[in-house]
Amino acid sequence: MNLETLKKDFFDVFTTKKSVLKNNFRRIFKNRDKSFVYFSPGRVNLIGEHIDYNGGKVMPLAIDSGTFGVIAKRSDQTIRLYSKNYAKEGVSLFENGHFSKKDRPSWTAYVIGVVFALSKRGILLPNGFDLWLYGNLPSGAGLSSSASVEMLTAFALNDQFRLKLTMLDLVKIAREAENHYVGVQCGIMDQFAIGFGEKDKAILLDTNTLEYEYVPLKLPEMKIVIINSNKRRELAESKYNERLDECKLALSLLQKEGVAIRNLCDLTPEDLSKNLHLFNTRLRKRVRHVVTENDRVKKAVRALSEGDLLTLGKLLNTSHVSLRDDYEVTGRELDEIILAAWASGSHGARMTGAGFGGCAIALVKTLEIPAFRRRVLKHYKRIIGYTPSFYIASPSGGVRLIG
């Protein structure tokens, strides 16, 4: 399997042509009014995992696959939603201003959650809309398919209804939809990367201040390979919120002791060693991951700027070990993928996303990718019993109007 085949598996060029998307929209909704096509990417996080909700630095990148949406405004207050990915669910109807999730397909929460978040800010849409969606991100894989839908919805509504919101406003609204409507207490990284992504660049984001800079991804003769474990995970039903609560508890213990910090990532490695006695074994491990992962992001930026891919690869490896042993969010499937990647010629590999299933990333020499894929697939199928999927992560621009 060559690189082009890997990319085509992830990106159906025909299905995502603008004319095809609009024809699908008209066929479903029988709506002949003028429609508009938008694209919202997914994201992978190069390094800096589970620290966005702890005020840390992260390094995500938008990728060239994601969610396509076709939208047209209506003259009444009806909102009609359809997803090609969940075609059996049919068209879902809502009334503008009514946000009940009862008896609704779960995916619609990512759209209606944005309308809900807008209303909480006093922004009421003057009328309804029809929205047709198709995503070529594997759902539940940790590539931010939910944030992709949220950002597409926020961007499209802002554009269609001339709401005059900034990109940062849209990022915050999409996060509020996830936190307060969907019910996942995520940080801001996913929505930020999808909003502010740029081609061939990662984003170094300080999640405490929201200051950011672009980091050119100079990977000569090397690619970032995404490996999907194909173990689906649902964040709202996972231990994600449990980890967040553990971090909040650790922070409160430090603050009660008089440690002058606002976020766990304000803690230096030196301060951590002085205050380990405050925590039981479980919290000690959680805090150790948060502090050391934040430090690894800073080192990764330096390694990229110096073209030191050997050090970058080592940082990816130690990140996974920390996520596995201290934060305990990897699971058997991701661990087997990483073990296989380490033994199959990668220059560094780690889980990416929230964990509990989902995806890993690996730095692999371009010419060695086919052999790498064969070895990892063989190992994973022998141990786990089914096959993973492989894609190339190409840094992409952020959410945008296609036309």
Q: What is the mean pLDDT of residues 287-298?
A: 97
Tens digits of residue pLDDT in 335-393 = 999 999 999 999 999 999 888 888 999 999 999 999 999 999 999 999 999 999 999 98
Query: Which of 8-12, 229-233, 237-241 is least confident?
Result: 8-12
User: How far, in Å, CA of 122 to CA of 215, rounded?
Assistant: 36
At the top level of CATH, the class of 222-393 is alpha beta
Whose CA is closest to 123, among 164, 75, 92? 164
Q: What percent of the chain is predicted at pLDDT more than 90? A: 82
β-bridge partners, 226: 361, 391
What band does 61 get if pLDDT is binned at 50, 70 and 90?
very high
pLDDT of the residue at 36: 97
Whose CA is closest to 359, among 225, 237, 221, 174? 225
Q: What is the mean pLDDT of residues 194-205?
A: 97
CATH number of 3-216+396-401: 3.30.230.10
Query: Which 3 state secondary structure label does DSSP give 126?
Result: coil
Where does CATH 3.30.70.890 sit in the chain?
222-393
pLDDT exceeds cutoff 50 at 152: yes
User: How far, in Å, CA of 70 to CA of 63, rounded?
Assistant: 20
Query: Do 366 and 223 meet the contact criterion of CB atoms below 8 Å apart?
Result: yes
What band does 33 get if pLDDT is binned at 50, 70 and 90?
confident
Q: What is the mean pLDDT of residues 320-345?
A: 97
Active site residue 190: yes
H-type alpha helices, 121-199 = 145-160, 167-177, 189-196
Q: What percent of the chain is predicted at pLDDT more than 70? A: 94
Where does CATH 3.30.230.10 sit in the chain?
3-216+396-401
Quick one: DSSP state of residue 395?
A: B
pLDDT of the residue at 238: 65
Q: What is the mean pLDDT of residues 128-153?
A: 89
Q: pTM value?
A: 0.91
Query: Which 3 state secondary structure label does DSSP give 366?
Result: helix
Catalytic residue among 52, 64, 130, 190: 190
Q: What is the mean pLDDT of residues 163-172?
A: 98
pLDDT exceeds cutoff 70 at 235: no
Average pLDDT of the chain to the nearest whole number: 92
pLDDT of the residue at 3: 47
